[in-house]
Each structure stands twice: as C-alpha cells, then as structure tokens.
Chain A
Amino acid sequence: MTPIDEALLRSLTPGVLGVLVRRGADFAAAEDAVQDALVEAVRVWPDDPPRDAKGWLVTVAWRKFLDATRADAARRRREDRVDEEPPPGPAPGTDDTLQLYFLCAHPSLTPSSAVALTLRAVGGLTTRQIAQAYLVPEATMAQRISRAKRTVSGVRFDQPGDVATVLRVLYLVFNEGYSGDVDLSAEAIRLTRQLAAAIDHPEVAGLLALMLLHHARRAARTAPDGGLVPLAEQDRSRWDTKAIAEGVGILQAALARDRLGEFQAQAAIAALHADAPTVEETDWVQIVEWYDELARLTDSPVVRLNRAVAVGEADGPRAGLAALAALDDALPRYAAVAAYLHERDGDLTTAARLYTEAAHKAPNIAERDYLTRQAARLNTRRDR
C-alpha cells in the first residue's frame, strides 16, 4: 500500500478535464467523468500506483465519459454513436487550466455557484467536501454545482475570460477560512499558485502574496480559547516567516512590473505589517500611503474606514477621528473603529459605549466576542 498523494491527484484535475473537453466532451459530462476517475484513483492507486498518473486519469475519465454517454444515449434511445477511440483533436493546450478557471468564474454565475464549481472542477474536491466546508447539505451543494454547470454549458471553452472575476472567486474561497475537514484558505492558495503558473499577471501575483502574508499570521490570530487576537497583540514569533518571505518576494516582483492593482496594494499593506518586528516599529506612514493608493484604485468606503485606523496610528487618534468623521456611520465596523480611536484618545466612556454598539452589529461570533470583551474591559476598570 502506497499512501495516495491527494494534493498531486487534485493538482492534475484541471489538466485531465481540459483534455476531455478538447477531445469534444461537453464540459458538464467531462467534469462528472473526471470526478468519477478521481474516486477510482483513490480506490485503486494505494495498491496499484500508476507510472503516469495523468495518463491514467485521462484514460479512466475518458472511459467513464464514454460509459455515461452510452448509457445516456441508450436511455434516450438515440442513434447517436460515440467513437471508441478518442478523436485526435487539437493537442492538449497549455492554457486548458486557465480556460477552466475562466469558465468556472464566468460572470453569468452567482458568486456562490462560481466558488462551488471552481472547487470541484479546478480543485478536484468532492461535492461532499465542498458541502461540508460551506455547512450546507450535500444534496443542496450537488444542485448548486449542476445548476452552475448548466449555466455555463453554452460558453465556449476557448473564449478568453476575465482574470478579475477569477481573482474575486479565489479571494472568496480564501476568506472562508477553515471549517469542516477542508482547509479552504490552503486550497485557495494552492489554486492561486496554480493560476499564477498558468498566467503572467501582476494582480494574480498580488493576490497570491496577499494570501500568503495573511495565512502566515493564522496561528497567531487565534487565542487558545478560540478568541480573536488583534494584530497589535499577536505573538510575532508565531508568524510563519517562510510564508512571509515568499509573499514579500512575489509581491516585490509584481510591483516591479508597474501595473498596480488592488490586490498588490492590499498585499503591500499586509507586507508592511509582516515586516515590523514589533507593533511599535510598524511603518504607519507608508501604510496610510498604500491606503490612499487603494482608495484611488477601488473607491471603497471600507478602505477609507481602514485608512482612518492607519491615520490614527500615524498622526494620532484625533487625526484618525477627523478622517472617520468624513465617512458614513452606517458602514460595517464603523462603530468598532470609532471605539478604538476614542479609547486611544482617552475618552473611555464613549469608547465603551461604542464597543458595545459595535459588538451588537458584529457580523461574526469572533468579532462580537472580541468587541464585547473590549467593552467589558472598559466598563469594569478600577479607576472609574
């Protein structure tokens, strides 16, 4: 018995699928066949590892495709005949993988469909794994994926796609983090790495760098009790220096291309944090400059909110509050930022009230508990 290399197996998925589609199989049927072949590989390989893993998968997937097509044809009593031998067709293109990313992130798909389809068709995850990761029933996820496949069924495989939509999908996967038995952040990094190998694009590199830099801090971000540890309080010795070095290297090469985009700018901010040996040594002035750049690129109010925090660090809490005053107080996390800046400014009563308000509006449990603790810390202080 040889333990199966699941990462290798899954990395072969897009290439095998690409071969089937190039041979003329329609995308939906080819994708099902590749899934079947992956399942068979998991069953057979431990006892009988193939010499050519990809060749094995192509052969088995093609056979599965033919079987399914034949069964389908018989069921519909159609006369259509499918040739035993694969048609010669064009040679498997090196850009098959890239085309698959484009197809799975097609703009006609909703974000949740694009994510699910990408994880299955490009990532090689099973429907069950994806369902577990997103905490929905397997039947629901199966339907979401088959609907997504129907939606893109008319899209030509060789049509050029939009890198930006692919990056948004990968960003969503990364942000989902870790739940169930699939580490979606690690999977997003793997998929982004694979994309970076298929296309030379500074924003792909920027996203990969951003992911690596955030992933590097993961262990330090959570307390033993599951609570959130803010950046300033993280034990920096627990940051993954190898991932940081890789992220910084990738980012520097991307920035040198002089085609700035939002992911490179976000990664630059993450890199400046990662670069500071202690929180006091953080280069907040440069971080504010990057936020200015990011605001210019995205025009996002969330970016301006984050910028207000950075301004508060660079120029003092009064300056941060002044930057905040220009923003809409209905923005998510506005109260949290206001609370933090008021506390730094010494107005603990206002800060406590705002922390409570922020906890009430928090979008997730980790933030809610963190903000409640902040309010409690101020409300129970001895010198009141």
Chain B
Amino acid sequence: MAKYLLLKHYRGAPAAVNDVPMDQWTPEEISAHVQYMNDFAARLEKTGEFVDSQALAPEGTFVRYDGEGRPPVTDGPFAETKDVIAGWMIIDVDSYERAVELAGELSAAPGAGGKPIHEWLELRPFLGASPTIPECTFK
C-alpha cells in the first residue's frame, strides 16, 4: 500500500522510441491514444489502484514574494526551461514492482502509426505516513 506518482514530461525526459510529436499524428491516432489513457485509468479504478490523474498546460508562470505590501513578482514562461511536466497519474499499489509494471503499461500508449510510444515516465514514490510502530529503536 504505497502511493506513486507517474510523471509524464513534455520536455526533460529521455527521448521516446516512437518519438513523433502529437501534432503530426493522424486524428485517429490521437483518438486511439486518448482512448488508451482513459481505458487505463478506468481499469485501475476497477482494480482499486487509481487515485488521481491530471494534465497540465505546457506553459506556466513563475511567481515569487517581493516584500511586504508589494504584489508578487511574476515572470516567464521561460523557453529554455529543461523540464516541463505534462501531467501525472497517482496510483496506490501493493508494491514497487506493481508500480513499475503499471508505468510500463502506461508507457505503451499508442502514438504515431498506432505503435506504442515507449515514452519515459518518471516513477516517484510519495513520502508515506510515519509508521506507528517505529522500525528503529531510537525513535
């Protein structure tokens, strides 16, 4: 029972095997891709492993505090930003092995030519709750 984030990148992940940008797919290929993603989420809900799935706009704004009584400063988007998150799925699974298995399946979503994209997804464990029975004597 551990939560993992499956992180999808617009930019910043190593190149996918089937690395054709989406705007060069046929409309049917795009539909097939979207359908695959929806089916995947629905299947995870049925297995009781789905937590959340969201997509992000590619461009955002950087914001920071600018001192008492002043409005926050905004900047960007920066064209040179190397790492751009496209979206995520959060899963709740029994083991790391299961998380890897599911990330592998998600990475097989079809792209150009209806072939799997083989895109690199980043798998990140959530920091869990502190166990009630501490596993270390010094706690």
Contacts and interface: CB of A to CB of B under 8 A. Distances in A.
Interface of A: 110-113, 115-116, 134-137, 139-141, 143-145, 147, 171-172, 174-177, 179, 185, 210, 214-215, 218, 221, 228, 230-232, 266, 269, 273, 287, 302, 305-306, 309-310, 313, 332-333, 336-337, 340, 362-368
Contact of A306 (B3, B47, B51, B136): B136
Find the residue from B50, B128, B134 having the highest chain A CB count within 10 A: B134
B46 A175 contact: no
Given A115-B1, A337-B136, A362 B46 contact: no
Interface string B99-139: 00000000000000000000000000101111111111111
A134 B131 contact: no
Nearest to A172: B1
Contacts of B130: 177, 228, 364-367
Interface of B: 1, 3, 44-52, 92-94, 125, 127-139
B48 A143 contact: yes
A336 B48 contact: no
Nearest to B135: A302
A231 B129 contact: no
Contact of B132 (A175, A228, A231, A305): A175
A155 B82 CA distance: 54
Contacts of B94: 110-112
A365 B3 CA distance: 14
Contacts of B125: 363
A232 B137 CA distance: 9
A305 B139 CA distance: 13
Contacts of B49: 140, 144
A333 B136 CA distance: 8
A99 to B, nearest CB: 24
A230 B127 contact: no
Nearest 4 interchain pairs by C-beta:
A144-B48, A366-B130, A177-B132, A112-B1
A169 B44 CA distance: 23
A175 B133 contact: yes
Q: Give the secondary structure class of A's interface.
A: helix
Given A115-B1, A137-B51, A147-B47, A176 B138 contact: no
Contacts of B137: 231, 269, 273, 287, 306, 309-310, 313
Contacts of A368: 127
Given A136-B48, A139-B50, A231-B138, 14 more contacts: A110-B94, A111-B1, A135-B3, A135-B51, A136-B51, A137-B52, A140-B49, A147-B46, A228-B130, A230-B138, A302-B135, A306-B135, A363-B128, A367-B139
Contacts of A185: 132
Contact of B127 (A137, A306, A362): A362
A136 B92 contact: yes
Contacts of B133: 171, 174-175, 210, 214, 266
Nearest to B137: A309
A364 to B, nearest CB: 5
A194 to B, nearest CB: 19
Nearest to A306: B137
A286 to B, nearest CB: 13
A116 B47 CA distance: 13
A351 B1 CA distance: 32
Contacts of B93: 112
Contact of A147 (B48, B129, B135): B48
B48 A177 contact: no
Nearest to B51: A136
B132 A179 contact: no
Contacts of B51: 135-137, 140
A113 B127 contact: no
B138 A134 contact: no
A221 B1 CA distance: 24
18 contacts: A111-B94, A134-B92, A136-B50, A136-B51, A137-B50, A137-B52, A139-B50, A140-B50, A145-B48, A147-B46, A175-B133, A210-B133, A228-B130, A309-B136, A313-B137, A365-B130, A366-B130, A367-B139
A364 B136 contact: no
A112 B128 contact: no
Contacts of A305: 136
